[in-house]
Structure 1
Amino acid sequence: MTSLEVAVTEAKLMLTCGPGGVGKTTTAAALGVAAAQAGRRTVVVTVDPARRLADALGLGDDAEADEPHQVPGITTGANDGELWALMLDAEQTFDRLVRDQSSNKKQADAVLNNPVYQAISGSLSGAQEYMAIERLHQLHSSGEWDLVIVDTPPSRHAIDLLEAPDRLVGFLGHPVYRALTAGQRAFAKITDTAASMFLWAVKRLAGPQIVEDTIGFFRSLANIEGGLRKRAKEVSALLRDENTAFIVVSSPRSEAVGEAKHLLDALHEKRFPFAGLVVNLIHPMPEPLADEDALLLADLDDGPLADHVAWHAELTHLAVAERAELVELEVLAGDAPIIELPLLEVDIHDVPGLIDLSARLV
């Protein structure tokens, strides 16, 4: 299979994954274009698009870029769908999660107004990865969309995205978290002398207020622990649902291929539904010279023709080397579609460019 048409027309959730700098955001937007043109109401969640691509998607500098904006100029027919886009705001998504899982406003405010929460909600390790999936869940659960596409955050270890729900459940069961969320008397009972000395030292170094704020944060978080656990399990199941499609995006660069291989291995190992491989920025393979032409051109004097022949040989060598780098990726992809997209003279940064790319993908 050499097309992503099945994924675009049948999936309900789609995630583009891979290393940074390989065109994940552009690929996600182009897949959204293809879905809209197939008659589906589609929303694309982007992370950090290039400025001109953000402008093309209607995101610009709008303070409300975290809410869906319709992208104009994508469809023309009466039966066509719609393309909407939004930019992920991890902090706002975290706030929504807290409100959703709190039983009342007072409970939610106890978390949201805590100084520790306000300091770390947008910068927790792995927060952006988990919030990308949480935003996907929020949009999917709304029932407003035929397809939700998430352009996942670029990461040196892209697998963090897939493990984020399980890490949250693990965190909620960690002994330190359990100790901090226990009542004051219970806390005193389970805290040994070394821990007490540790807290005393922290109070001396950072001040007693930061210790109280931290313990207060974890205790307020305990009020919504059941909801967080339930949501994390729902998200984990959603990522493995048959209507979810993971698209791995890479380039032929050695380091990008290495990260994409790691990600493909993890998708297979953890049984996430892999739907296709997109390899961007590939140099075209020149037409080979006929034997007689090669002989005629073998001993050229210096000049434009000799330079052109040398360029042809260099490009051929580069294209062959790139395809050799991709062999292991192609094996891991198995029967899934593999799309090779050429290196273009200019970056795609407008709606016509996205429409052209969508045609190449599907």
Structure 2
Amino acid sequence: MTSLSDAVTDAKLLVTCGPGGVGKTTTAAALGVAAARAGRKTVVVTVDPARRLADALGLGKEATTDEPHRVDGVTNESGRGELWALMLDAEQTFDRLVRDQSPSKKQADAVLNNPVYQAISGSLSGAQEYMAIERLHQLHTSGEWDLIIVDTPPSRHAIDLLEAPDRLVGFLGHPVYRALTVGQRAFARVTDAAASMFLWAVKRLAGPQIVEDTVNFFRSLANIEGGLRTRAKEVSALLRDEDTCFVVVSSPRAEAVGEAKHLLDALQAKNFPFGGLVVNLIHPLPEALTAEDAALLADLDDGPLAEQVAWHNELTTLATAERAELVSLEALAGDAPIVELPLLDHDIHDVPGLIDLSARLTSSDFV
């Protein structure tokens, strides 16, 4: 893809990822606006948008979670495209996954009603990342959407999403899990040290009832193990499909650049399709002073003009440092499109603002 315009018109799955606090959710929403205005039926899956942006996307407190809501005002009356948005609910997505993969309602209820499952389903390590991709898979297989955009959860390392399917497969093959899911008689003969230590520690800390609930949970989970393995493999393939596109969003801050570089390395190492880099919140670079002007302004008395010159110099230093910070990040992007967006004097929190940002993201003037 030569521009983000290609991504929003050609891709079927688009994943925005990167560190937190860089405008990633707003970028995902704006790319969704661009796709809808290009005539595509688009859904944006987000995790926790800012309150005013959530309201603009129809995801206010009154909205039912985990179901798509139509975003009004994105296209004109003659436009064929549509923009929908939903806020991810990891627990509801987990419940749906269990029901879909269980051979019967009874076996699904055995998992859903287990106290251990109810305690951890919304707070498992990596649950948000895996459920974001699981929800993407559910939407993809429905055949209802031209484009699905997933705004991934912010992460310190920003690669949890990529590893979630593989982690699930690894968990299902772990010796402790294998030991806990064997039949009752076989379980009595289990001598696996890891499992024995696990049960001993849990019994000492939480009591025998927790041990029983935990064993029952893992055994009931074994009923859907085949489905979980198959789904994880399908998700892994989906993330690498030629119609999938990853867009990395960063800012020029040193810590954000470091995380974005780590993510770009991971995308390349794991053969995920990288579609573009968005660098947000860049300070404008003032026009350089001529030598003659600099000499005239060198010895100003205190006052408004001196303050303006000092501000100009500080802004020049900051903007120059930002661009130097971005050199290595943009080199990692290679031939992929790079969009640099200036720091605005206002937040984008409504549909008109998203429309303006969508034009900036997809216009060659900004690439």
Q: Could you tell me the TM-score, scaled by structure 1's length?
A: 0.97
Alignment of 1:54-73 (within 5 A): 54-73=54-73
Shift of 1:187: 1.3
1:216 corresponding residue in structure 2: 216
Alignment of 1:330-345 (within 5 A): 330-345=330-345
Shift of 1:203: 2.9
1:140 corresponding residue in structure 2: 140
- Shift in alpha-carbon separation, 1:306–1:211, aligned structure 2, 3 A: same
- Cα distance in 1, alignment partners of residues 194 and 98 from structure 2: 33
- Shift in alpha-carbon separation, 1:137–1:234, aligned structure 2, 3 A: same
- Cα distance in 2, alignment partners of residues 2 and 305 from structure 1: 45
Shift of 1:80: 3.0
SS for the counterpart of 1:14 is: strand
SS for the counterpart of 2:36 is: helix
Is 2:116–2:213's contact at 8 Å kept on the other side of the alignment?
yes
Provide, for residues 136-175 of structure 1, a one-character-per-residue CA deviation record: whole Å limited to 9, x for no partner.
0011111010000010000102111100000000000011
CA RMSD after TM alignment: 1.5
Shift of 1:205: 3.6
SS for the counterpart of 2:125 is: coil
Shift of 1:189: 1.8
Task: Tell me the matched-pair count.
Answer: 362
2:106 corresponding residue in structure 1: 106
Alignment of 1:161-310 (within 5 A): 161-191=161-191, 196=196, 199-200=199-200, 202-310=202-310
2:365 corresponding residue in structure 1: none
- Cα distance in 2, alignment partners of residues 197 and 335 from structure 1: 52
Percent identity at matched positions?
85
Q: Could you tell me the TM-score, scaled by structure 2's length?
A: 0.96
Is 2:42–2:82's contact at 8 Å kept on the other side of the alignment?
yes
Provide, for residues 99-136 of structure 1, a one-character-per-residue CA deviation record: whole Å limited to 9, x for no partner.
11111111111111111001000000000000000000
SS for the counterpart of 1:187 is: helix
Shift of 1:206: 1.6
Is the deviation greater in 59-68 or in 28-37?
59-68
- Cα distance in 2, alignment partners of residues 289 and 63 from structure 1: 53
Is 1:286–1:312's contact at 8 Å kept on the other side of the alignment?
yes
- Shift in alpha-carbon separation, 1:313–1:71, aligned structure 2, 3 A: same
SS for the counterpart of 2:189 is: helix
Instruction: Tell me which amino acid in the other structure corresponds to 1:239.
Output: L
- Cα distance in 1, alignment partners of residues 271 and 199 from structure 2: 42
Shift of 1:305: 1.1
Is 2:176–2:195's contact at 8 Å kept on the other side of the alignment?
no
**Gaps in structure 1 of 5+ consecutive residues:** none
Instruction: Tell me which amino acid in the other structure corresponds to 2:259.
Output: E
- Shift in alpha-carbon separation, 1:195–1:256, aligned structure 2, 3 A: closer
1:24 corresponding residue in structure 2: 24
Shift of 1:204: 4.5
- Cα distance in 2, alignment partners of residues 197 and 61 from structure 1: 45
1:13 corresponding residue in structure 2: 13
Shift of 1:188: 1.8
Is 2:17–2:152's contact at 8 Å kept on the other side of the alignment?
yes
**Gaps in structure 2 of 5+ consecutive residues:** 363-367
Instruction: Tell me which amino acid in the other structure corresponds to 1:309.
Output: V
Instruction: Tell me which amino acid in the other structure corresponds to 1:70.
Output: R
Shift of 1:290: 2.1
Instruction: Tell me which amino acid in the other structure corresponds to 1:179.
Output: A
- Cα distance in 1, alignment partners of residues 244 and 204 from structure 2: 50
Is the deviation greater in 226-235 or in 296-305?
296-305
Is 2:176–2:194's contact at 8 Å kept on the other side of the alignment?
no
Shift of 1:201: 5.5
Shift of 1:78: 2.0
- Shift in alpha-carbon separation, 1:54–1:194, aligned structure 2, 3 A: closer
Is 1:2–1:338's contact at 8 Å kept on the other side of the alignment?
no
Is 1:76 the counterpart of 2:70? The answer is: no
Shift of 1:292: 2.0
- Shift in alpha-carbon separation, 1:214–1:131, aligned structure 2, 3 A: same
Is 1:40–1:80's contact at 8 Å kept on the other side of the alignment?
yes
Is 1:160 the counterpart of 2:160? The answer is: yes
- Cα distance in 1, alignment partners of residues 83 and 194 from structure 2: 57
Is 1:90 the counterpart of 2:90? The answer is: yes
Shift of 1:344: 0.9
Instruction: Tell me which amino acid in the other structure corresponds to 1:227.
Output: G
